[in-house]
Structures are given as C-alpha cells and as structure tokens.
A and B are shown apart, each in its own frame.
Chain A
Amino acid sequence: MESNATIFRNGFRDGIPIGLGYFAVAFSLGIAAHGYGFGPLQGFIASILTYASAGQYIGFSLYAANAALIQLIILTVITNARYILMGVTLNQRMPAGTSLARRLAVGTTITDEIFGITIARPGIPSPYYGFGAWTAAVPMWAAGTSIGIITGTALPAQIVSALSVAIFGMFIAVIIPPARKDRMIGVAVAVSFAFSYAASHLPRVSGMSSGNRTILLTLLISAAFALIAPRTDQDNNEQ
C-alpha cells in the first residue's frame, strides 16, 4: 500500500509536464487578459482560483464587454460542462460509503489534464494524487497568466511554441499505454483523432468553441463505443 505522501509525490511529479504546458498556454491567456484590462495580480488570483482555460478566457472577455454577472455564470457553466462528466467518471470509481470529503477533494482538483492522469491510475482515485498534480501545475498556470500580462510578447515565440506541446505529449502518454493493452480503447482513440480533425474543418461544428466540440465528440464517440463494445462484468472486475 502506497503512503499518502508517496501518492502526493507521484502526483507532483506527473504534474510537472502539465505545469510546463500550462505555463505556455497561460502565457497567451495573460496576453489576452492584458488586452481585456486585467492587472498581473488580478490575473494571478483569477487563474489560481479558477484554473480553467477556455472558461477563463471567456470570463475575461465578458468582463471587458461589461457583461452582466448572470451572463458570466451561464457561459461559465456551458464552457465547463465537461467537468461534470469528469466528476461523474471519477465518482463512478469510488465505492458506496466513500466520504463526502474525499469525493469533494477529488472533484476540486479536476482540470482536463489532472482528470486525465488521475483516471489513468488504477484503483480508487486518491485526492492526494490530484492535489500533488495540482500543486505542481496550477501555480505554473497562475504564474504564466501573470507573466503574460506583464511582459506581453517578450518570451521568444520559439520557446512558447516548444512548451505548448508539453501538455499534448502528456495526454499521449496517458492514452497510448491503455490503447496498447485494450484494442477497443486503441480503436476509440484512433476514431477520436480522426473525428476531431474532421470536426475542426466541418462548416458548422468548427464554429463551436473547442470546449463544446470536445464535449460533443466525447459524448457521441463514447456512447457509440459503449453500444458497439460494451464492458462485461468480467472486464470490470479485471479493471
């Protein structure tokens, strides 16, 4: 049995590449936030408390547009609706009788990336893993936002370009090993790549925000695979 401290350390280690990717993305978010009238401290606080990429971008732009608070709430709910799906998936792994504190703690660390690495670990999701990853990654997100607001475009474009793929490298490292082990996951991953590429070029769908496109494709493709290749009780016991 791993100690909670070890689990936290593992989360922290796995959170480092996420943090590098966050830094690069947050840096460009910071440049946008500067344009929308946010100062470095405001950007830092917004990022460390919200830690949601597309949702925050929309939030910043709404502030600049003098949107009503109710509009902010509605659009925040829509752009972050995928977190509900991720929360359901994580709670599905927790047996009846799991404390509310543990459920809330696991839910609190959800970001696209931290969810991805948390769910990829076998067994009951540990809040210590999520907080380890959060501690490595989210301060980088907040720092990137702040530095983006202060320096504008001062960081060399080449560095930003290289750092911005760290996050995708991490996603690949999460999905490929299970895809190699379970052929249906492999097929689902290949189909997801293809449909996602197609959707980014289709007339209507490509106009949607990338967050909404992600939800739509996730729902459709996962439902299709649940129908074509449902899990048996035996599969679930092995998992």
Chain B
Amino acid sequence: MSNNLYVYIYILIMAFTTWCMRVIPSLVMKRPIENRFIQSFLYYVPYVTLAVMTFPAIIEATQSPAAGVAAFIAGIIAAWMGIRLLGVAAICCITVFILELFL
C-alpha cells in the first residue's frame, strides 16, 4: 500500500471515529431523561465545561500571561454589560494586541 493512500485511510478512520462520538447519543436517546439528578447535572454541564476550558487556558494562549488576564477581565465586563459574542471576542483580541505592544 502506498504511503500516500495510507495517510488518507488513517485520516478517514480518525474522522469517522470522531463523528461516531458526536452522534452516539443521537442514535441511542429517543426521549429526554426524566431523572431529576441527571436533569440538574446536564443543566450545569455546558457552563461548567466552557468555564473550565476558558480559564486558565486564556492566560496560556497569549505571549504574555498579563495580557491574557486583561482579556479575561475585559471579556467578563463586556459580556456582563450585554455585548454579544462577536463584540466580546473582538474586545478580548484588541486588549491582547494593544497590551502586547507594550509588555
């Protein structure tokens, strides 16, 4: 088997396995789960996941950790004031860009 063909088979297996993880619950679940604990648990999951993924990753993503901290705080204030997704993302980027000119 040529090396080039093998790479594509490898990529397809990686993609298909990943896709299976995404759709297994769609194949299995026919109706919402009624259990109170499960319902409460799933209610918190999205916020907890996103919070865990945001911090401290945001201060590790930038060249200077201080710029990451500033972007984190600026983002929270902007979102608290009701600014939407694209706006908050832009404020975080601009904060880092400007601060890293000086830091």
Residues of chain A at the chain B interface (Cβ within 8 Å): 13-14, 16-17, 20-21, 38, 42, 45-46, 49-52, 55-56, 59, 63, 69, 72-73, 76-77, 80-97, 100, 103-104, 106-108, 110, 112, 115-117, 119-120, 157-159, 161-180, 185, 188-189, 192-193, 195-197, 200, 210, 213-214, 217-218, 221-223, 225-227, 229-231, 236, 239
Q: For A213, what are the chain B residues with a Cβ–Cβ distance below 8 Å?
A: 52
| Bound Cα distance from A221 to B101, whole angstroms | 38
B1 within 8 A of A: no
Check A77–B17 contact: CB distance below 8 A.
yes
Chain B contact surface mostly: helix
Check A192–B32 contact: CB distance below 8 A.
no
Q: A20-B93, A38-B7 are in contact. Are A104 and B46 (CB under 8 A)?
A: no
User: What is the interface size of chain B, counting residues whose CB is below 8 A from a CB of the partner?
Assistant: 76
As a 0/1 sequence over residues 79 to 97 of chain B, the CB contacts with chain A under 8 angstroms (1 = contact) are: 1101111111111111111
Q: A119-B46, A169-B88 are in contact. List 18 more A-B contacts (CB 8 A).
A: A17-B85, A69-B13, A87-B21, A88-B42, A92-B38, A95-B32, A96-B32, A97-B31, A104-B26, A116-B49, A161-B67, A162-B97, A173-B79, A196-B55, A214-B53, A218-B45, A221-B52, A229-B40
26 contacts between A and B (CB under 8 A): A16-B86, A20-B89, A45-B8, A46-B15, A50-B15, A76-B14, A87-B22, A87-B26, A107-B24, A119-B46, A120-B46, A157-B63, A158-B101, A161-B63, A162-B62, A162-B97, A165-B95, A168-B54, A173-B85, A188-B44, A188-B48, A213-B52, A218-B45, A218-B49, A218-B52, A229-B40
Q: For B19, what are the chain A residues with a Cβ–Cβ distance below 8 Å?
A: 108
CB distance from A122 to the nearest CB of B (A): 13
Residues of chain B at the chain A interface (Cβ within 8 Å): 7-8, 10-15, 17-19, 21-27, 29-33, 36-58, 61-63, 67-68, 71-72, 75-76, 78-80, 82-97, 100-101
